[in-house]
Structure formats: C-alpha cells, structure tokens
Structure 1
Amino acid sequence: MEKTIFFVVVAIYIIAGIVVTRHVKNKDDFYVMGEKGSTLLIVGTLSATYLSAVTLMGLAGMIYNEGPVAHAGFASYGAWLGTLFAVIYVGRKLKALDCQTLPDFFEKRFKNKWVTVISTSIMIIGLLGYGVVQLIGAGVVLSEILDIPFPVLILLFTLALLIFSAMGGMYGVVITDTLMFFTMLAIAAVIAPLIIGQAGLDQVKNLGQVVPGYFSFTGSADRPFGWVFSQFLMWILFFGCTPSLVSRVFPAKNDFVIMKAAVIGVFFAPFMQLLVFIAAAAMMVLRPGIEPADRVFIVGMMEYVPAGLAGIGLAGLMASIMSTASTLFVLTGFALAKDLFENVLHKDFSEKKSLVIGRAAQVIVAIVVCIIAIIQPSSIFWISIYAGSIFAVAWMPTIIGSLEWKRMSSKAAIASMTAGIVTFIVFGELKRFGIITFPVGFDNFYLAIIVSVLTLIVVGFITKPNDYELGYYQKMKETKLSVSTIKSILAKPNGAAELKKQYKQTITIAASFVVISVVLWGYFIVRLGM
C-alpha cells in the first residue's frame, strides 16, 4: 500500500510541474515567476527548500548516531539564523535592485567580467555538490521500496526532475515546492510524533545515560568543540548567501509578502527539523545499529508507521529531495545560461532563444550531477558540509562587503573569493593527506574564512573603486524595496486602506508566531531537560 501511495503522490508533483509550464511566456516568468509569488507560495518554496535530504537523511543520521545537541543545537540553529539573513537582508536588497540571480548582483555591482565569471563558477561548483546530495538521497529512498539498481534510479529521478524544472523554470519550482511542503509537513506533524510516541520522550531523554555524551555539546563521538562551533558558523554563512534560499525572495509580489513569508517560513523550517531530529533520536531507542545511518528515517517510516502514512511519509521524504534538487537544477542552469552566457558574453537574445538556452543549460547540469551521484563519492552529510563551506568562505564576505563598504572594488571581490576558495580546498586536501595538521578545534574552514575577510579588507584599502562602482554603491543606498512597495500600493484605488491592512497583517502574524514558538520550544526543552 505504501508503494502505491508513494507513486501516486510523486506523480501529482510531476503532473503539477507539467501543467505549470503553460504559464511560462517569457524570461521573467522563467527566472522569477513574473514576480507574482503570494505569501503562501513563498512560504511553501522557502520551507521546502530548507528541508532537504541533508535534514531528513544526512543530519538525521548524524543525530541518530551522535546525539542532537552538536548537530541540531548548533548546526540547525546556525542554518535558521542564516535563513533569516538570506531572506530579510540579502534577498530583499537584491530584489530591490531587480536581480534575477545572485551572480546578476555581482554583474550589476561591478560590471567586471572576471567577478561575474568567478562568482558564477563558485555558485555552479557549490550547487553541483549540494545537488549531488539530493540525488544520492533519492537513490537511497527509492532503493528501499523498489528492486531497481541504484544507477538506474538516479537516472529516472533526474529525468523526472527535468520535466518541471527545465520546462517550468522558477514557476515550476515554486508551485511544486508548495505542494511538496504539505507532504513534508505531514512527516513532521504526524509521522515524527508517532515514532516519538512509540519510543517515549522519557526513553529518549534517558539516552544520555545509555549512550555516553549523547546529549552533550560535542555528542557521543566527542568531537572537538571547535569543530562543532565551525558547523554553527558554516551554516550561518552558507544559508545566509546560498542561492537556493536567497532566490526564494525574487518571485515575491512585494516586500509585505517577503516579511510575512520570513516569519511563517522561518518558523516552519526549524519546527519541522525539531520534530524530525527528536524522532531520529527516538529511533536509537527503537532500533539501534541501523547502517548506514542515512536510512534511519526510512526505516522508521517503513517499520513503525501504518502503511498508508508510511507511503505519504516516503513521498514527503522524496518531496524534500525533489524540491531542493529542482531548485539547484534551475539555479545552476540559470548560472550557465544567464550569468555566464548572456551577461559575460553580453548577448541579447530573443525571449524564445533565451528560454531554449536556459532549458538546455539545465539538461547539461543534470547530466553532470547524475554522473557524480552514481559514483557516490561520500556520505550525504559530508558532501553537504563541503558544498556549504565553499559558499561560506568564498561568497559571504564579498556579498556583505559589496552591499555595505564604499571602498569595495572588483579587485577586492576577485581577491577575496579566490583566496577563500583556494585556501579552503588546498589546505583541506593537505590535511586529508596528512601533510599538515591543525591545532585541536581549528580547521581549514576557519583558516579560509579568515583569509577571505583579511584579503578583502587589505585589497580594498590598497585599491580604489572606479566611478561606476562608487555610483552603483550610492544607488544601492538609495534603493529600498519597502519604499517601492509602499508607492505601488498607494498608487492603487483605496491604496491607503490596503497599506494599513498589510501592516496590521504582518504585525499580527509576527506576534502570533513568536508566542507559538515560545510555547513549542519551551515544551520540548522542559520535557527533554535540555
């Protein structure tokens, strides 16, 4: 029964993605959904993108083995703060500047070919890594319920994704993400509590006595606290600038939609994670010794949940993978087609030809990711850490400097991004082969972020921005999304009443979710004695 329900729900995702393609009439529809995204759609796509295979498989497996504090308490809290930063700060500023992709911002900010090439290349490398994670996760899920070789499953999954991501662009991704969000919510709100209930919260709490260090800051693996803190820092910096989250802002109708979606979406993301992570710990009570640990939630649904719900849960798990993977396919395709081909080469294509190039680029990306996923070079968790670190050390310092520092120049951007990513990769490999060692609690991530920031500051001070860069900096400071939103609403009939209504709704939603969050998190903190 669970197999039937699983395939029915996944088929609904694919059909919805195909139907949505009829709305894609031009480049704006393809890249930013014509900026028609409602609060519901932005909440859906934001939450669905946040909850990926990394959460439901990679992190769930780490928490199952090592305990929740080191990974959920630090890494997930960092991801939550990073998501707020991505939506409220980076996303809103870039949307106000009419950016359709993140490298689009670098192109507008500096008008320098090498800045665009380097930033886009970093984006492609990072997203390819994160995309591989999703495909491996899909193969793991499907192999549990189908007797089909892993490489064939990866290929079929890739083809299914291309149906709506390549054809529907951002329209297809946002609509299907929202549908998928509700099945993911079923995992957190219904299935996870069922697993927790069978184990018992008291038994979960007692794991600290059964598995030494399970609820400690460094986990049962007794990882160095410096490493644990680096996860907190990495997820803030990664999620704060990752295109998969920042780009969720671009399709929004206006600033009120973004602010409401930030409150609601950023509540649901950690809410779903919280219950999933406690359920992962509950599985250590019910079934210790699951190998590989990435399968923990699949085993939980197949063995401890009624068949009908298990089918919905597996579909929700697949939804978390499909939503993030489709986003990464779309964004990497955008990077190849729009940011490298159109912006760097300064080609002005017709609407029809631009859409063809954008779709072809996604096919190329899908082929590359599919091949890497079939090779399966590492576990889901460690691939995600590597991909996230690349964004954190190479992009975040440059983005903040570009938005806030008047002396920021193209030379500083190039130097900072290059120094960050080269330091991270080179010293990471030297450490891996035992050529060098770092002090306990310090690793190549810390070194790379320090080098990236220092390089940006030093080069920024010894060089001067050109007239264009100074002019665009001034334009950024004068351009605010809130101002344009207010003007557009006041221009409508009864605009003043509509503006007052939007303010009231936003404040009410914010206050309500603060109260809900305090009650929910307070309950689990008290019950688990954390």
Structure 2
Amino acid sequence: MALYIIAGIYVTKFIKNSNDFYVMGNRGSTLLITGTLLASLLSATTFLGIAGITYENGPPIFLIVFTSWFGTVLAALYTGRKLRALGSKTMPDFLEYRFGSSVRVAGTIIMIVGLIGYGLIQLMGAGLVLSGVTGLSYELMIILFVGVLLIFGILGGMWAVIVTDTIMCITFIVATLIIAPVAINQAGGLETLTGSLAAENPLYWSAGGAAMEMPVGWSIGQMVLWLLFMTAAPWLATRTFSAKNDFVVMKSALWMILLSTIMVTIFYLGVFAVRAINPGIQPADIVLVWMSENLVHPLIGGFGIAGIMAAILSTSSTIFIFAGFALSRDLYERISKKQLSEREKVAKARIGQMVVGVVMLVIGLSQPVSIYWIGAWSGALFAVSWLPVLIAGFHWKFVTKAAVLSSMIGGALSYIILYQMVDGWGLFTLPFHVDPVIPSVLFSFALLYFVSKVSKLDQQYIDNFRKYKSIALNDETIKQFKDNPEALIKEYRSTRRLAFGVSIVAIVFFGYLIIEVALKV
C-alpha cells in the first residue's frame, strides 16, 4: 500500500491538464495498458469468490463459463476503439455525441449505481475475509483501503490507476504462476486431479460443478453474462483511451488474453489441487490465503496474500476513479453548464472521487445485508442497459432518443425485477436455468427497435451518426506515423508477429493440458 501511495505521488508530475488526469495524456505504453487490462480483469472475484467455487466444485465450472477474457478483448478492440476514435474521455461522452445530454445523464446515473454496487460487494467481502486472516478489524481494513485509494487516485488520476495496476500484476503473477504450481505438485501432480479426485466425484470435472450440479443451460447463461457484461464494462473499454495508438491497444489485448487465460487456468487447477491436500477449508473463499500460509515460503506467501489485496485495490481504484469522473465530468459539468478551466476540471474530478469514497465507506462500514443483493445485479446493469445502446449507437442510424432512454431504463428495471423474482424470491426458474441477464438483454434490444419505430427521429441524430461513421478507427494512428511510414510498417509487422506468437504459445499450452487433463478424466 505504501508503494502504491508513493507511485501515486510520483506520477502527479505528469498531471498538467484534465486530459492527463482523465486519460494520462494518451501516453500509455503496451506494458502499462496490458498491466491495467490484466489487473482490471483479475479482480477480487477471481482470487476469492470464484476460487472458493472452484475449490468446492472443480475447475471446469469457471474455466468453461468464465468467458470474461473474450469480453475484455471486445471491450478493448470493439467498444474501446470505437469510442476512442471520437476522442472520448469517458463512455457517456459518446451518448451525448449521438443522442444528447439527457441520454448522457440517464446513462451516467445507471453507470454510477452499477460501479458503486460492483465495487462495494468486492470491498466488503474482501474486508471480511482479510480481517479474519490478519486479525485486524473489518472497519480498519475498509478505512485503510478507502484511504489508500483516495490518496493515489486523487493525486494521480488515471496515471496513478494504470501505473499501480501494472505494479499489482507482479503479485498476481506470484499467486498464479508460483503458488498454484506448488499446490499442484504437493497434491501429487495433475494425475491426482484426473485420478483420485475424479474418482471421488466425477462431477468435479463437469461444467455444472460437483456441489452446484447446474445444468448446461446455466453454464451457457454464465458465458453469455460474462461476455456481455465485460464488453460494456466502462473500466475496461475506457482503458484504450489512454493508449498511445491502435497498435498499443492491439498488442495489449493480445498479451492480456494470453496471460489471463494461462494464469487463471493454472490458478484454478492449483485451487482444485488444494482440495486433495485439505478438503476442509472454511470458508472456501480463503483458499488462496491457506495456500499462501501453508504451502510456500512466507516471503512468497506474503506476495500471494498481497495479490488478494492488490486485486481488491485494482478493482476498487477503477470504480472510484470512474464513478468520480461520472459525477464531475458527466453530471456536474453538464448539468451546471459552467465553463471550467483545466485546473477547475481536475479539482472537480478529485472532489467527485472523494464523494464516491465517502459514500462507499459509509455503506461498507454499515454492512447492510441488501448490499450483497445490490452487488449481485449491479455488474449486469452494464450488459442490459449500456451494451444494446452502444451497439445501436455504433451501427443503426434510425435509433431515436426515446428508444435509447426506454432501453437503458427499461432494460435495467427488467433485470432487477426478474433477478429478484428468480433468485431473490424464488417464484420460478427460467428455462434451462439461464441467467436473467439474457432475457433482459433481449428485452432491452426489443425496446430499442419498437420504440424507434413509433417515436420521432430527430434529423440531428442521423447527422451525428453519419459524422461518426465517416471517422475511420485508425485515423489517429495513421496521422501519428504520416511523417514516418517506415515506423508504421514496423509497428504493423511487430503486431502481426505477436499475434502469431501468442497463437503458437496458446496452442502448445492448452494442447498440453488437453492431453494431460481432459483426455485422462
């Protein structure tokens, strides 16, 4: 935490204007963008909640349905690049460009609710787990986290978040590529996973899980949920805004998907191997903590536990900064209609982060039971309210403002109500046990189409669409290299070589696992 604060203080020297604060002046390198994408994907959910589910159910249940890496690639190469081409600083910038300020306000409010809910559930859950492990009080852990986040986030803005995310990846690597293989080795190797544990319960190697025993429809529904959710997640798509150019975005996406799939696969196999060593870990969420304390040298174990804390910090810092940006840039500046100087914009953004920090701290300290319910559906709000509108805004010129507002608000409400009826009150189950997000997304798209057909279309929105479509995604990158075409060709070739190299590594790695694991189960 001290290291992150020092990094946050150091990068303040790069903050000269609001562009530096919001998107680090578009100076993000491949290393930094890869680091922040990886840290944003491998959150506390990866190392706590899903690790516990894997420990109890077997690795396939989330190796199969945890398709968030595909969604992250789409967030970078599809959503992010399209928004980046417009020079957006935040995602609501696009909504105002296409549909006006009222749509921007509605989308921003939904975004803030989703961001705070998604951040709170991780912050509170991790606070409870880590307070039990360290012996420190839950209240102290929450206050400490929020204090650190506010210090480096307020000081360094996006510079601080991206730099600290990259530093945090070091602890992720230790947890996944050092501690997990030790667990597999001490359990007796992959033979134990495919032999004794499979003999104990064949469902350990099923997509539905040994304890959950969910049908195939549930697995498919989770795949769709993660795919749609991550594609529209603002903390992922907007990471591309800070990159130097499109080559950095493409290279970072390649490195991210290779590293994340390898790291998560090895980690979950290691978590499952711990079941053969100690099948009685309770609660199961602390399985990485148990591995760190019992299987490796304390120095390495310390990095493992630091990995959990880094996962919490990386996710929460992103939540804080984007919720703060939403309050200042996307709500205050638009509603007040004041002309602010560069210094005032940065100051308002910092105040927005402080407000979000205080709100999350107050709610987190009160530990309301309902916050877990809020956290369960908050992430899916981006899939049901933002993704359909983004797709329509990118590709359909006849969508109306009334349709967009109906889709965002109606899609969000339909998911909340349906989720509560199915999972909260247990009134009924959906066919094939699919996640409520799927019918809600379909309903949101239907609202877009039918309301657009019956409502008035403003010519201004058609003109905005035509202007947007006239902008090539690679215009900015081409302009950067207009005086040096040799460098452009060099970047293109290096990106292509990386793509081939990543593909070869992936084929070798997963081919080996298929032979050693899948064919022996």
* Same fold flag (TM > 0.5): yes
Whether the 8 Å CA contact 2:384–2:411 is kept in 1: the answer is yes
Q: Which residue of 1 aligns with 2:175?
A: 187
Distance apart, 1:283 and its partner CA: 1.5
Is 1:211 the counterpart of 2:201 in the alignment? yes
Whether the 8 Å CA contact 2:288–2:304 is kept in 1: the answer is no
SS in 2 for 1:183: helix
Whether the 8 Å CA contact 1:17–1:172 is kept in 2: the answer is yes
Gaps of 5+ in 1: 1-9
Within 2, Cα distance between the matches of 1:376 and 1:32? Answer: 33
Whether the 8 Å CA contact 2:43–2:314 is kept in 1: the answer is yes
Whether the 8 Å CA contact 2:377–2:419 is kept in 1: the answer is no
Q: Which residue of 1 aligns with 2:12?
A: 21
Distance apart, 1:376 and its partner CA: 4.2
Q: Which residue of 2 aligns with 1:350?
A: 341
Within 2, Cα distance between the matches of 1:295 and 1:273? Answer: 16
Q: Which residue of 1 aligns with 2:474?
A: 482
Whether the 8 Å CA contact 2:28–2:242 is kept in 1: the answer is yes
Within 2, Cα distance between the matches of 1:243 and 1:475? Answer: 23
Residues 329-376 of structure 1: CA deviation (Å, up to 9, x unaligned): 000000111001112432221122221211111111112222333344
When residues 67 and 295 of structure 1 are mapped into structure 2, their CA distance, relative to the original with a 3 A threshold, is same
2:75 to 86, 93, 110: 86
When residues 21 and 138 of structure 1 are mapped into structure 2, their CA distance, relative to the original with a 3 A threshold, is farther
Is 1:98 the counterpart of 2:87 in the alignment? yes
When residues 288 and 375 of structure 1 are mapped into structure 2, their CA distance, relative to the original with a 3 A threshold, is farther
Mapping for residues 15-414 of structure 1, pairs under 5 Å: 15-74=6-65, 76=66, 78-113=67-102, 115-140=103-128, 142-199=130-187, 200-206=189-195, 207-220=197-210, 221-376=212-367, 385-414=376-405
Distance apart, 1:48 and its partner CA: 1.0
| Moved segments of 4+, more than 6 Å | 378-383
Within 1, Cα distance between the matches of 2:374 and 2:296? Answer: 30
Q: Which residue of 2 aligns with 1:6?
A: none
SS in 1 for 2:203: coil
Within 2, Cα distance between the matches of 1:223 and 1:121? Answer: 35
Distance apart, 1:134 and its partner CA: 3.2
Whether the 8 Å CA contact 2:56–2:284 is kept in 1: the answer is yes
Within 2, Cα distance between the matches of 1:334 and 1:49? Answer: 17
Distance apart, 1:33 and its partner CA: 0.4
Within 2, Cα distance between the matches of 1:384 and 1:52? Answer: 14
Within 2, Cα distance between the matches of 1:378 and 1:279? Answer: 32
Normalised TM-score (structure 2)? 0.95
Within 2, Cα distance between the matches of 1:481 and 1:239? Answer: 21
SS in 2 for 1:217: coil
Within 2, Cα distance between the matches of 1:427 and 1:396? Answer: 18
Whether the 8 Å CA contact 1:107–1:343 is kept in 2: the answer is no
When residues 174 and 380 of structure 1 are mapped into structure 2, their CA distance, relative to the original with a 3 A threshold, is farther
Is 1:468 the counterpart of 2:460 in the alignment? yes
Is 1:12 the counterpart of 2:3 in the alignment? yes
SS in 1 for 2:172: helix
Whether the 8 Å CA contact 2:224–2:438 is kept in 1: the answer is no
When residues 478 and 304 of structure 1 are mapped into structure 2, their CA distance, relative to the original with a 3 A threshold, is same
Residues 130-167 of structure 1: CA deviation (Å, up to 9, x unaligned): 21133135424532553221112111111011111122
Within 1, Cα distance between the matches of 2:458 and 2:325? Answer: 28
Q: CA RMSD in A?
A: 1.9
Within 1, Cα distance between the matches of 2:256 and 2:294? Answer: 31
Within 2, Cα distance between the matches of 1:487 and 1:17? Answer: 32
Whether the 8 Å CA contact 2:41–2:69 is kept in 1: the answer is no
Residues 236-262 of structure 1: CA deviation (Å, up to 9, x unaligned): 000001011101100001111111111
When residues 442 and 270 of structure 1 are mapped into structure 2, their CA distance, relative to the original with a 3 A threshold, is closer
Distance apart, 1:447 and its partner CA: 2.5
Whether the 8 Å CA contact 1:58–1:380 is kept in 2: the answer is no
Within 1, Cα distance between the matches of 2:6 and 2:182? Answer: 30
Within 1, Cα distance between the matches of 2:516 and 2:361? Answer: 43
Whether the 8 Å CA contact 2:123–2:312 is kept in 1: the answer is yes
Within 2, Cα distance between the matches of 1:325 and 1:474? Answer: 37
Whether the 8 Å CA contact 1:123–1:391 is kept in 2: the answer is yes
Within 1, Cα distance between the matches of 2:497 and 2:432? Answer: 47
Whether the 8 Å CA contact 1:53–1:133 is kept in 2: the answer is no
Q: Which residue of 1 aligns with 2:513?
A: 524
Within 2, Cα distance between the matches of 1:345 and 1:110? Answer: 19
Distance apart, 1:121 and its partner CA: 1.2
Within 2, Cα distance between the matches of 1:320 and 1:501? Answer: 35
Residues 4-52 of structure 1: CA deviation (Å, up to 9, x unaligned): xxxxxx3222211221122212110110001111111111111111111
When residues 266 and 380 of structure 1 are mapped into structure 2, their CA distance, relative to the original with a 3 A threshold, is farther
How many residue pairs were aligned?
515
Q: Which residue of 2 aligns with 1:447?
A: 439
When residues 515 and 381 of structure 1 are mapped into structure 2, their CA distance, relative to the original with a 3 A threshold, is farther
Q: Which residue of 1 aligns with 2:497?
A: 508
SS in 1 for 2:474: helix
When residues 371 and 526 of structure 1 are mapped into structure 2, their CA distance, relative to the original with a 3 A threshold, is farther
Distance apart, 1:87 and its partner CA: 0.4
Residues 69-89 of structure 1: CA deviation (Å, up to 9, x unaligned): 222211x2x211111110001
